[in-house]
Amino acid sequence: MPSEFTPYQIDHATYKRFDQRNICFSRPKWDKSFIAYGRRIYQNAPQRIAQGLRGYSKDQFAALTAAWHIHDIVPRIGPSEIILPREGTFEDYNPAGPTPEQNSILIKKFANDLGSPDVGTTRVNKDWIYSLDVQGEPIEIDQLPYAVVFTVPMDQEKLKESPNFIASTAVGVAYSKCRFIAQSLSEYISHMGYTALPAVNETGLSVPLAIDAGLGEFGRNGLLINDRYGMGVRIAKVFTDMPLAQDSPVNLGVRKFCTKCKKCAESCPVKAISYEDNPDGRFFSISNNPGAHKWYVNVDKCYKFWTFNGSDCSNCVTSCPFTKPNTRTHRMARGIVKRTGSLNGLLLRMDNWLYGRPTSRSRKQS
Protein backbone atom coordinates (compact mmCIF):
# COMPACT_ATOMS: atom_id res chain seq x y z
CA MET A 1 0.00 0.00 0.00
CA PRO A 2 1.31 3.52 -0.80
CA SER A 3 2.46 5.49 2.24
CA GLU A 4 0.78 8.69 3.39
CA PHE A 5 4.05 10.57 2.99
CA THR A 6 3.76 13.39 0.44
CA PRO A 7 7.15 13.82 -1.26
CA TYR A 8 6.28 16.97 -3.23
CA GLN A 9 3.61 19.62 -3.66
CA ILE A 10 2.46 20.66 -7.14
CA ASP A 11 0.27 23.65 -8.03
CA HIS A 12 -1.65 22.19 -10.95
CA ALA A 13 -3.01 25.62 -11.85
CA THR A 14 0.56 26.67 -12.68
CA TYR A 15 2.44 23.49 -13.46
CA LYS A 16 2.71 22.33 -17.08
CA ARG A 17 4.66 19.51 -18.66
CA PHE A 18 8.19 20.68 -19.41
CA ASP A 19 9.48 21.37 -22.92
CA GLN A 20 12.85 19.60 -23.19
CA ARG A 21 14.15 22.33 -25.50
CA ASN A 22 14.21 24.60 -22.43
CA ILE A 23 16.78 22.60 -20.48
CA CYS A 24 20.03 24.50 -20.06
CA PHE A 25 21.91 21.99 -22.24
CA SER A 26 19.63 22.67 -25.22
CA ARG A 27 19.32 26.44 -24.99
CA PRO A 28 22.90 27.27 -26.14
CA LYS A 29 21.84 26.02 -29.58
CA TRP A 30 18.76 28.21 -30.08
CA ASP A 31 18.13 30.75 -27.30
CA LYS A 32 20.03 33.96 -28.09
CA SER A 33 18.88 35.44 -24.77
CA PHE A 34 20.61 32.64 -22.84
CA ILE A 35 23.58 33.81 -20.76
CA ALA A 36 25.75 31.09 -22.35
CA TYR A 37 24.32 31.10 -25.88
CA GLY A 38 26.62 29.33 -28.33
CA ARG A 39 28.95 28.10 -25.60
CA ARG A 40 29.91 24.44 -25.17
CA ILE A 41 30.72 22.83 -21.84
CA TYR A 42 34.24 21.72 -22.78
CA GLN A 43 35.25 24.66 -24.97
CA ASN A 44 37.74 25.97 -22.38
CA ALA A 45 39.29 22.54 -21.74
CA PRO A 46 42.39 23.30 -23.90
CA GLN A 47 43.09 26.47 -21.88
CA ARG A 48 42.75 24.55 -18.61
CA ILE A 49 45.16 21.89 -19.87
CA ALA A 50 47.64 24.58 -20.97
CA GLN A 51 47.53 26.16 -17.49
CA GLY A 52 48.82 22.94 -15.94
CA LEU A 53 46.23 22.90 -13.17
CA ARG A 54 45.86 19.80 -11.03
CA GLY A 55 43.13 17.56 -12.42
CA TYR A 56 43.14 19.31 -15.82
CA SER A 57 45.75 17.34 -17.76
CA LYS A 58 45.51 16.05 -21.32
CA ASP A 59 45.31 12.40 -20.25
CA GLN A 60 42.61 13.22 -17.69
CA PHE A 61 40.55 14.95 -20.36
CA ALA A 62 41.01 11.90 -22.59
CA ALA A 63 39.66 9.73 -19.76
CA LEU A 64 36.69 12.08 -19.31
CA THR A 65 35.83 11.92 -23.01
CA ALA A 66 36.18 8.13 -23.11
CA ALA A 67 34.01 7.75 -19.98
CA TRP A 68 31.09 9.41 -21.78
CA HIS A 69 31.57 7.41 -25.00
CA ILE A 70 28.95 4.66 -24.53
CA HIS A 71 26.38 7.15 -23.29
CA ASP A 72 26.96 9.38 -26.31
CA ILE A 73 27.11 6.82 -29.14
CA VAL A 74 23.96 4.84 -28.31
CA PRO A 75 21.11 6.38 -30.35
CA ARG A 76 18.33 8.08 -28.40
CA ILE A 77 15.19 6.09 -29.07
CA GLY A 78 12.12 8.28 -29.52
CA PRO A 79 8.53 7.22 -28.75
CA SER A 80 8.08 6.25 -32.42
CA GLU A 81 11.06 3.87 -32.22
CA ILE A 82 10.32 1.91 -29.06
CA ILE A 83 11.57 -1.65 -28.65
CA LEU A 84 8.67 -3.94 -29.53
CA PRO A 85 8.01 -7.46 -28.20
CA ARG A 86 10.19 -10.12 -29.79
CA GLU A 87 8.74 -13.09 -31.63
CA GLY A 88 8.83 -16.37 -29.75
CA THR A 89 8.69 -14.68 -26.36
CA PHE A 90 7.62 -15.84 -22.93
CA GLU A 91 4.13 -14.48 -23.58
CA ASP A 92 3.66 -16.95 -26.46
CA TYR A 93 3.95 -19.81 -23.98
CA ASN A 94 2.17 -18.25 -21.00
CA PRO A 95 -0.37 -15.67 -22.18
CA ALA A 96 -1.46 -14.90 -18.60
CA GLY A 97 2.06 -13.82 -17.65
CA PRO A 98 3.40 -13.27 -14.10
CA THR A 99 1.71 -10.86 -11.69
CA PRO A 100 2.89 -7.21 -11.51
CA GLU A 101 4.67 -8.05 -8.27
CA GLN A 102 6.46 -11.00 -9.86
CA ASN A 103 7.41 -8.87 -12.87
CA SER A 104 8.90 -6.23 -10.58
CA ILE A 105 10.95 -8.84 -8.72
CA LEU A 106 12.34 -10.19 -12.01
CA ILE A 107 13.14 -6.72 -13.35
CA LYS A 108 14.85 -5.58 -10.15
CA LYS A 109 16.99 -8.71 -9.95
CA PHE A 110 18.15 -8.32 -13.55
CA ALA A 111 18.90 -4.62 -13.04
CA ASN A 112 20.94 -5.55 -9.94
CA ASP A 113 22.83 -8.12 -12.03
CA LEU A 114 23.56 -5.41 -14.61
CA GLY A 115 25.09 -3.15 -11.96
CA SER A 116 22.34 -1.01 -10.45
CA PRO A 117 22.05 -1.39 -6.66
CA ASP A 118 18.74 0.51 -6.32
CA VAL A 119 15.76 -0.14 -8.57
CA GLY A 120 12.13 0.90 -8.22
CA THR A 121 8.97 0.44 -10.26
CA THR A 122 6.10 2.87 -10.58
CA ARG A 123 3.09 3.92 -12.60
CA VAL A 124 4.03 6.84 -14.83
CA ASN A 125 2.75 10.23 -13.72
CA LYS A 126 2.24 12.05 -17.03
CA ASP A 127 3.27 15.34 -15.37
CA TRP A 128 6.85 14.10 -15.47
CA ILE A 129 6.91 13.35 -19.23
CA TYR A 130 8.34 16.10 -21.45
CA SER A 131 5.74 17.81 -23.61
CA LEU A 132 8.19 18.16 -26.52
CA ASP A 133 11.60 16.62 -27.18
CA VAL A 134 14.73 18.55 -28.18
CA GLN A 135 13.60 18.51 -31.83
CA GLY A 136 10.24 20.00 -30.87
CA GLU A 137 8.32 16.76 -31.47
CA PRO A 138 5.44 15.91 -29.09
CA ILE A 139 6.06 13.09 -26.60
CA GLU A 140 3.05 10.91 -25.86
CA ILE A 141 3.69 7.53 -24.28
CA ASP A 142 0.30 6.74 -22.74
CA GLN A 143 0.70 3.23 -24.16
CA LEU A 144 3.59 2.72 -21.71
CA PRO A 145 1.99 3.30 -18.28
CA TYR A 146 4.78 1.82 -16.14
CA ALA A 147 8.40 2.74 -15.49
CA VAL A 148 11.45 0.94 -14.15
CA VAL A 149 13.67 3.56 -12.52
CA PHE A 150 17.20 2.81 -11.33
CA THR A 151 20.32 4.52 -10.03
CA VAL A 152 24.02 4.04 -10.73
CA PRO A 153 26.41 5.27 -8.01
CA MET A 154 29.39 7.43 -8.90
CA ASP A 155 32.94 7.06 -7.57
CA GLN A 156 32.88 9.30 -4.49
CA GLU A 157 36.67 9.62 -4.29
CA LYS A 158 36.82 10.97 -7.83
CA LEU A 159 33.83 13.26 -7.19
CA LYS A 160 35.79 14.93 -4.38
CA GLU A 161 38.07 16.37 -7.07
CA SER A 162 35.23 18.51 -8.43
CA PRO A 163 35.13 20.63 -10.50
CA ASN A 164 38.01 19.18 -12.53
CA PHE A 165 38.27 16.46 -15.20
CA ILE A 166 38.73 13.68 -12.63
CA ALA A 167 35.30 14.28 -11.10
CA SER A 168 33.73 14.66 -14.54
CA THR A 169 35.07 11.24 -15.47
CA ALA A 170 33.13 9.70 -12.57
CA VAL A 171 29.97 11.35 -13.90
CA GLY A 172 30.60 10.08 -17.44
CA VAL A 173 31.24 6.52 -16.28
CA ALA A 174 27.92 6.48 -14.39
CA TYR A 175 25.98 7.88 -17.35
CA SER A 176 27.49 5.30 -19.71
CA LYS A 177 26.51 2.56 -17.26
CA CYS A 178 22.99 4.03 -17.16
CA ARG A 179 22.77 3.81 -20.95
CA PHE A 180 24.01 0.20 -20.96
CA ILE A 181 21.59 -0.90 -18.22
CA ALA A 182 18.57 0.89 -19.75
CA GLN A 183 19.20 -0.70 -23.16
CA SER A 184 19.72 -4.15 -21.64
CA LEU A 185 16.59 -3.90 -19.48
CA SER A 186 14.59 -2.91 -22.56
CA GLU A 187 15.82 -5.97 -24.45
CA TYR A 188 14.92 -8.15 -21.48
CA ILE A 189 11.41 -6.72 -21.36
CA SER A 190 10.94 -7.19 -25.12
CA HIS A 191 11.91 -10.86 -24.85
CA MET A 192 9.35 -11.20 -22.06
CA GLY A 193 6.71 -10.12 -24.57
CA TYR A 194 6.29 -6.43 -23.77
CA THR A 195 7.19 -3.05 -25.23
CA ALA A 196 9.98 -0.90 -23.76
CA LEU A 197 11.42 2.58 -24.21
CA PRO A 198 14.88 3.15 -22.62
CA ALA A 199 15.79 6.65 -21.47
CA VAL A 200 18.49 8.36 -19.45
CA ASN A 201 17.83 12.12 -19.32
CA GLU A 202 15.50 12.12 -22.32
CA THR A 203 11.71 11.48 -22.50
CA GLY A 204 10.92 12.48 -18.91
CA LEU A 205 12.13 14.06 -15.66
CA SER A 206 14.28 11.53 -13.83
CA VAL A 207 14.15 12.94 -10.28
CA PRO A 208 10.36 12.92 -9.70
CA LEU A 209 10.09 9.50 -11.39
CA ALA A 210 12.77 8.20 -9.03
CA ILE A 211 10.93 9.70 -6.06
CA ASP A 212 7.70 7.97 -7.13
CA ALA A 213 9.65 4.70 -7.42
CA GLY A 214 10.91 4.99 -3.84
CA LEU A 215 14.55 5.75 -4.62
CA GLY A 216 14.94 8.92 -2.55
CA GLU A 217 13.89 12.53 -2.01
CA PHE A 218 14.85 15.74 -3.75
CA GLY A 219 17.33 18.06 -2.06
CA ARG A 220 17.98 21.78 -1.93
CA ASN A 221 19.83 21.69 -5.26
CA GLY A 222 17.02 19.79 -7.00
CA LEU A 223 18.89 16.49 -7.27
CA LEU A 224 17.83 13.15 -5.84
CA ILE A 225 19.13 12.21 -2.41
CA ASN A 226 19.34 8.43 -2.18
CA ASP A 227 19.35 6.59 1.14
CA ARG A 228 22.67 4.79 0.55
CA TYR A 229 24.60 7.10 -1.78
CA GLY A 230 23.17 10.56 -1.15
CA MET A 231 23.43 12.69 -4.27
CA GLY A 232 26.24 10.54 -5.64
CA VAL A 233 24.05 8.72 -8.18
CA ARG A 234 22.82 9.09 -11.73
CA ILE A 235 19.32 8.03 -12.75
CA ALA A 236 17.83 6.30 -15.79
CA LYS A 237 14.52 4.68 -16.58
CA VAL A 238 12.67 2.33 -18.90
CA PHE A 239 9.05 2.97 -19.83
CA THR A 240 6.99 -0.13 -20.58
CA ASP A 241 3.57 -1.76 -20.87
CA MET A 242 4.78 -4.64 -18.70
CA PRO A 243 2.51 -4.59 -15.61
CA LEU A 244 4.62 -3.60 -12.61
CA ALA A 245 3.99 -3.09 -8.90
CA GLN A 246 3.83 0.44 -7.49
CA ASP A 247 6.65 1.21 -5.07
CA SER A 248 6.05 3.92 -2.47
CA PRO A 249 7.94 7.19 -1.98
CA VAL A 250 10.30 7.12 1.00
CA ASN A 251 10.63 9.65 3.78
CA LEU A 252 14.33 10.01 4.57
CA GLY A 253 13.92 13.24 6.52
CA VAL A 254 15.69 15.10 3.72
CA ARG A 255 13.33 18.07 3.46
CA LYS A 256 13.64 18.93 7.14
CA PHE A 257 17.42 18.42 7.10
CA CYS A 258 17.85 20.64 4.02
CA THR A 259 16.11 23.55 5.74
CA LYS A 260 19.06 23.69 8.18
CA CYS A 261 21.88 22.50 5.95
CA LYS A 262 23.09 24.83 3.22
CA LYS A 263 26.38 23.11 2.41
CA CYS A 264 25.48 22.59 -1.26
CA ALA A 265 24.71 26.33 -1.58
CA GLU A 266 27.96 27.24 0.19
CA SER A 267 29.99 25.03 -2.16
CA CYS A 268 28.54 26.46 -5.39
CA PRO A 269 31.14 28.60 -7.23
CA VAL A 270 28.48 30.93 -8.69
CA LYS A 271 25.89 30.92 -5.88
CA ALA A 272 23.26 29.29 -8.07
CA ILE A 273 21.62 27.41 -5.15
CA SER A 274 19.10 29.01 -2.79
CA TYR A 275 20.02 29.94 0.79
CA GLU A 276 16.36 30.28 1.81
CA ASP A 277 15.48 28.18 4.84
CA ASN A 278 12.30 26.86 3.26
CA PRO A 279 11.38 26.27 -0.38
CA ASP A 280 9.89 29.44 -1.82
CA GLY A 281 9.12 28.26 -5.37
CA ARG A 282 11.02 31.23 -6.87
CA PHE A 283 12.27 30.42 -10.37
CA PHE A 284 14.87 32.15 -12.53
CA SER A 285 14.43 31.29 -16.21
CA ILE A 286 12.62 29.06 -18.69
CA SER A 287 14.99 26.27 -17.62
CA ASN A 288 12.97 26.12 -14.39
CA ASN A 289 9.45 24.71 -14.60
CA PRO A 290 7.22 26.69 -12.20
CA GLY A 291 4.47 25.12 -10.14
CA ALA A 292 6.48 22.90 -7.78
CA HIS A 293 6.96 23.83 -4.12
CA LYS A 294 10.74 23.46 -3.98
CA TRP A 295 14.04 25.29 -4.09
CA TYR A 296 14.76 26.22 -7.70
CA VAL A 297 18.36 26.45 -8.91
CA ASN A 298 19.66 29.19 -11.21
CA VAL A 299 20.89 26.67 -13.77
CA ASP A 300 21.80 29.46 -16.22
CA LYS A 301 24.61 30.50 -13.85
CA CYS A 302 25.53 26.86 -13.34
CA TYR A 303 25.88 26.12 -17.06
CA LYS A 304 27.84 29.32 -17.70
CA PHE A 305 30.35 28.30 -15.01
CA TRP A 306 30.76 24.89 -16.65
CA THR A 307 31.73 26.56 -19.93
CA PHE A 308 34.27 28.75 -18.10
CA ASN A 309 35.60 25.80 -16.15
CA GLY A 310 36.03 23.60 -19.21
CA SER A 311 34.30 20.77 -17.35
CA ASP A 312 31.14 20.11 -15.40
CA CYS A 313 30.88 20.63 -11.63
CA SER A 314 29.81 18.35 -8.77
CA ASN A 315 30.65 20.60 -5.81
CA CYS A 316 27.08 20.52 -4.51
CA VAL A 317 26.90 16.74 -4.83
CA THR A 318 30.08 15.94 -2.95
CA SER A 319 29.51 18.52 -0.19
CA CYS A 320 26.13 17.03 0.79
CA PRO A 321 26.24 15.26 4.19
CA PHE A 322 24.22 12.41 2.66
CA THR A 323 26.92 11.83 0.02
CA LYS A 324 29.31 10.03 2.28
CA PRO A 325 30.69 6.46 2.41
CA ASN A 326 28.05 3.90 3.32
CA THR A 327 29.68 3.08 6.67
CA ARG A 328 27.97 1.98 9.86
CA THR A 329 28.40 5.47 11.33
CA HIS A 330 26.75 7.15 8.37
CA ARG A 331 23.95 4.59 8.23
CA MET A 332 23.28 5.34 11.90
CA ALA A 333 23.27 9.10 11.20
CA ARG A 334 20.86 8.67 8.28
CA GLY A 335 18.62 6.57 10.49
CA ILE A 336 18.49 9.36 13.06
CA VAL A 337 17.65 11.94 10.37
CA LYS A 338 14.90 9.68 9.08
CA ARG A 339 13.26 9.19 12.47
CA THR A 340 13.66 12.58 14.11
CA GLY A 341 14.67 16.06 13.09
CA SER A 342 15.62 17.12 16.62
CA LEU A 343 19.28 16.10 16.18
CA ASN A 344 19.78 17.52 12.69
CA GLY A 345 21.76 20.49 14.00
CA LEU A 346 24.11 18.22 15.96
CA LEU A 347 24.62 15.89 12.98
CA LEU A 348 25.35 18.85 10.73
CA ARG A 349 27.98 20.14 13.19
CA MET A 350 29.53 16.68 13.31
CA ASP A 351 29.66 16.59 9.49
CA ASN A 352 31.37 19.99 9.50
CA TRP A 353 33.85 18.74 12.10
CA LEU A 354 34.66 15.54 10.19
CA TYR A 355 34.67 16.93 6.64
CA GLY A 356 34.93 20.70 7.06
CA ARG A 357 32.70 23.39 5.70
CA PRO A 358 32.60 23.58 1.92
CA THR A 359 34.32 26.28 -0.08
CA SER A 360 32.99 27.53 -3.40
CA ARG A 361 36.13 26.29 -5.14
CA SER A 362 36.14 26.95 -8.85
CA ARG A 363 39.16 24.76 -9.57
CA LYS A 364 41.92 22.98 -7.70
CA GLN A 365 45.39 24.39 -8.05
CA SER A 366 48.55 22.33 -8.03
Confirm if 272 and 284 have CB atoms less than 8 A apart: no
Please choose, from the candidates 176, 145, 202, 248, the residue with its C-alpha nearest in 3D space to the C-alpha of residue 20.
Answer: 202
Average pLDDT in the chain: 90
Q: For the chain, how big is the Rg over CA atoms in Å? A: 20
Determine the Cα–Cα distance for residues 258 and 261; give it in Å rounded to an integer. 5
Given a cut of 80, is residue 362 above it in pLDDT? no
Query: For 73-100, what is the mean pLDDT?
Result: 70
Q: Which ranges constitute the DSSP H helices of 192-327?
A: 206-212, 254-260, 263-267, 299-309, 315-319
Q: Check residue 2 and give its pLDDT.
A: 44
Q: What is the per-residue pLDDT across 202-245, written as a single tens digit (0 to 9) for each?
A: 999 999 999 999 999 999 999 999 999 999 999 999 999 999 99
Question: What's the whole-number mean pLDDT along residues 127-150?
Answer: 96
pLDDT tens for 12-47 read 999 999 999 999 999 999 999 999 999 999 999 999
pLDDT of residue 6: 85
| Spatial contact of 48 and 310, defined as CB atoms under 8 Å apart | yes
Confidence of residue 365 (pLDDT cuts 50, 70, 90): very low
Of 58-62, 84-88, 308-312, the least confident: 84-88
Give the dihedral sign, CA 269/272/275/277: negative
SS3 content of the chain, % helix, strand, coil (to 5): 40, 10, 50
Write out pLDDT tens, residues 320-358. 999 988 778 777 877 887 777 766 777 777 777 667 766
Strand partners, 10: 292
Mean pLDDT of 309-327: 92
Q: Once rounded to an integer, what is the mean pLDDT over residues 129-149?
A: 95
| Identity at 132, one-letter amino acid code | L
pLDDT (0 to 100) of residue 289: 96
Give me the sign of the Cα torsion angle 77, 182, 209, 313: negative
| 222 and 128 Cβ atoms separated by less than 8 Å | no
| CB 182, CB 71: distance < 8 Å | no
The answer, yes or no, to whether residue 172 has pLDDT greater than 70, is yes
What are the C-alpha distances in Å from 53 to residues 47, 294, 304, 363? 10, 37, 20, 8
For 47-64, how does the pLDDT look when each residue is reduced to its tens digit (9 = 90+)?
999 999 999 999 999 999
Smallest CA-to-CA distance from 225 within 191, 195, 187, 264 is with 264
User: Would you say residue 293 has pLDDT above 80?
Assistant: yes
How far is CA 155 from each of CA 16, 162, 205, 276, 325, rounded to the nearest angstrom?
Answer: 35, 12, 23, 30, 10
CB distance 253 to 227 below 8 Å: no
Q: Sort strands 196-199 and 233-240 into parallel, antiparallel or unpaired.
A: antiparallel
DSSP state of 120: E
How many residues belong to the chain?
366
Q: Which residue has the higher pLDDT, 348 or 296?
A: 296
Task: Tell me the torsion sign for CA atoms 263, 266, 269, 271.
Answer: positive
C-alpha distances (whole Å) from 10 to each of 47, 128, 290 are: 44, 11, 9
pLDDT at 328: 80
The rounded distance, in Å, linking the Cα atoms of 262 and 159 is 19
Q: What value does the mean pLDDT take over residues 250-264?
A: 92
- What value does the mean pLDDT take over residues 116-122? 98
d(CA 154, CA 356): 21
pLDDT band at 4 (very low <50, low <70, confident <90, very high): low
Share of the chain above pLDDT 90, in %: 77
Q: How far is CA 97 from CA 94, 146, 189, 240, 353, in A?
A: 6, 16, 12, 15, 54
Q: Which residue blocks in the chain are alpha helix, DSSP H?
A: 45-51, 58-67, 69-73, 90-93, 100-114, 156-159, 165-191, 206-212, 254-260, 263-267, 299-309, 315-319, 328-339, 344-355
Q: Which residues pair with 240 in a beta bridge?
A: 146, 196
How large is the average pLDDT for residues 307-316? Answer: 97
Predicted local distance difference test score (pLDDT) of residue 1: 37
- pTM beyond 0.85: yes
